[in-house]
A and B are shown apart, each in its own frame.
Chain A
Amino acid sequence: MSSKRKVSRLYLKEEREAYLFLLPWMLGFIFFTSGPMIASLILSLFEWNGLTSPIWTGVNNYINIFHDPLFWQSLKVTSLYSFGSIPIRILFGLLIAILMNQAIKGIGIFRTIYYLPSVVSGVAVAVLWRWLLNPDFGLINILLSKIGLQGPAWLYDEKWVIPAFILMSLWSFGSIMIVFLASLQGVPTELYEAAKVDGANPWNIFWKITIPLISPALLFNLINSIIGSFQVFTAGYIMTNGGPANASLFYVLYLYRNAFVYFQLGYSSALAYILFLIILGLTILMLKSSSAWVYYQGGIGR
């Protein structure tokens, strides 16, 4: 009888301590995460410039967004960028990871080198690439001219500005590569050996063995890339500030402008919420489709 009470007293003490330990996080969650999330939704129903009183407008912000050509432009820019950069980066990261998986020696050095660009600050990357993409003196066009091609005006040309950003995004394939590499190294070699014994050609091996077994890593990289590519800001702000003629007006850049340049806090909150829904939707889509093509070794037991 007394031992039972003692145990529950200890349990209560542990529970109290647990909540105490969690207190900082809980406060943070309330004030810096969930609170703002709800506030954002509420704000989107008002018109507010941050100084005078907010004016109730209901869903007008959303209606106006629907009719805002710049909204659609920014969606187009961001989507084009995403659909351009994601497949290229993932493919590239996968290829390099496969290559590195062969060479066991010196893998550490290459891993370091290829991951290094991801470590560099966004601002630094933007500044560097602004110079690299300089139409007359930048390295890119100079290299192109060496193989006889006339490089475009990149950041100053409406048609080439998004490809310029896609090119730049290629540079930071490091984290994608590392995830793939780790996943590749988890593929049991017996499978490869068995396949070779059965006389399978490399193409089949790749598609029937390698890809399915690294599909969790592929899913992870896909979701991360989508989420990341829809939130491009620093590069856009520093390199082109949305130009030329809004050809590189990334969504978050447009959001930032509405909030902190035009001081349309309600309108930009609505923009933010739409972004959230888009990203959420895409992520759920990816996850739902994943059951069809993602294969977990050792069964699904997360």
Chain B
Amino acid sequence: MLPFFWMLSTALKEPIEVYSLPIRWIPKNPQWGNFYKAMTIMPFGRYFLNSIIITSLCILGTLISCSLAAFSFAKLRFRGKDLLFLLVLSTMMLPAHVTMIPKYVLFKYLKWLDTFKPLIVPSFFGVGAFNIFLLRQFFLGIPEELADAARIDGCSSFKIYWNLTLPLAKPTLIAVTIFDFMGTWNDFMSPLIYINSEKRWTVSLALAAFRGGEGAEGIFNLMMAATIIVILPCIIVFFFFQRYFIQGVVVTGLKG
């Protein structure tokens, strides 16, 4: 926990104080204005907007495509179900870096480089196997009787999915949302590869560039301030939803 306090303490210091010894934990003259300065040295407003757009669209895509797939695996009967699910599981073990280069080539060919598309589109196609797994486990727990009754009345699978299963799955859907939010908001490598223009930077790229190259020693207090602001959304989300978070980690740990 210490590092967090140190971060906050540094963020509030005057420039000279940052480098003074012996150290002080409480700054003599807290510079709350550092936060504002950090955010305006570079146009963080735009970076936040970029991150928000990408993250929310990703979450949307994931929720839709993964819940559809999970519903299929959990509730519907069809040939090849087990084999396909095995494929889903196997993708969970794949290191992302193996597919990184061909995906880059693909997006280059599609002329999607330096746009948000490579970061968003895959999520609409169920790329998060872990989410499919999580949702499927939950769907399996929903009793069949309700669905059977609906089916006898002639309901299509989609209606069952939409009106019956999804509302019941709220907790798990929230867990998926949170995991996806964290993953996308904090993602560094993908934006690094696909985005070039400064105006399209995500918050993670901006923070990395904040250091201004090797050893930009003079602005550590502002850097800490910027860091705090960048991680704030994650911390807030975490505090509000920790129950779902930890539950998700546990489910994979015990059943996996």
A interface vs B, CB < 8 Å?
Answer: 11, 14-15, 17-19, 21-22, 24-29, 31-33, 35-37, 39-40, 43, 50, 111-113, 115-117, 119-124, 126-132, 134, 136-137, 139, 142, 171, 175, 178-179, 182-183, 186, 216-217, 220-221, 227, 230-231, 233-234, 237-238, 241, 252, 255-256, 259-260, 265, 268-269, 272-273, 275-276, 279-280, 283
Q: A121-B204, A269-B101 are in contact. Are A24 and B254 (CB under 8 A)?
A: no
Q: Which residues of A contact B98 (CB under 8 A)?
A: 36-37, 40, 272-273, 275-276
A182 & B253 in contact (Cβ 8 Å cutoff) = yes
Q: Is B227 within 8 A of A124, CB to CB?
A: yes
Is B256 positioned at the interface, with any CB of A under 8 Å from its CB? Answer: yes
Identify the stretch in B26-34, B166-174, B180-188 within 8 Å (CB) of chain A at 4 or more residues.
Answer: B180-188
- CB nearest to B238 among chain A residues: A119
A-B contact count (CB 8 A): 238
Residues of B within 8 A of A32 (CB): 99, 103, 122, 125, 127
CB contacts (< 8 Å) of B72 on chain A: these are 17-18, 21-22
Please tell me if the beta carbons of B239 and A127 are within 8 angstroms of each other in the complex: no
User: A128 contacts B224, CB within 8 Å?
Assistant: yes
User: Which of A24, A178, A275 counts the most chain B CB atoms within 10 A?
Assistant: A24
Q: Is the interface of B mostly helix, strand, loop or mixed?
A: helix
Which of B7, B101, B126, B250 interacts with A268 by CB under 8 Å? B101
Contacts of B122 in A (CB 8 A): 28, 32
A33 to B106, CA, bound (A): 12
Would you call B234 an interface residue if the criterion is a C-beta within 8 Å of the partner chain's C-beta atoms?
Answer: yes
Residues on B facing A (Cβ under 8 Å): 1-4, 6-7, 10, 18-19, 21, 23, 64-66, 68-69, 71-72, 76-79, 81, 84, 87-88, 91, 93-106, 108, 122, 124-127, 132, 156-158, 161, 182, 185-186, 188-189, 192-193, 204, 207-208, 210-211, 214, 220, 223-224, 227, 230-231, 234-235, 238-239, 242, 245-246, 249-250, 252-254, 256
A255-B97 in contact given A21-B69, A131-B224, A179-B253 (Cβ < 8 Å): yes
Looking at A127, A265, A279, A283, the one whose CB has the most chain B CB atoms below 10 A away is A127
- Contact (Cβ within 8 A) A128 B254: no
The answer to whether B235 and A14 have CB atoms under 8 Å apart is no
Known: A25-B126, A25-B132, A272-B100. A128 touches B68 (CB 8 A): no
Q: Report yes or no: B231 in contact with A120, Cβ–Cβ below 8 A.
A: yes
Q: Within the assembled complex, what's the spacing in Å between the Cα atoms of A233 and B96?
A: 12
24 contacts between A and B (CB under 8 A): A14-B78, A21-B68, A24-B65, A25-B132, A28-B65, A32-B99, A32-B122, A37-B102, A39-B105, A40-B98, A40-B99, A116-B238, A119-B235, A121-B185, A121-B186, A121-B188, A130-B211, A171-B3, A179-B253, A182-B253, A183-B253, A241-B214, A259-B101, A272-B101
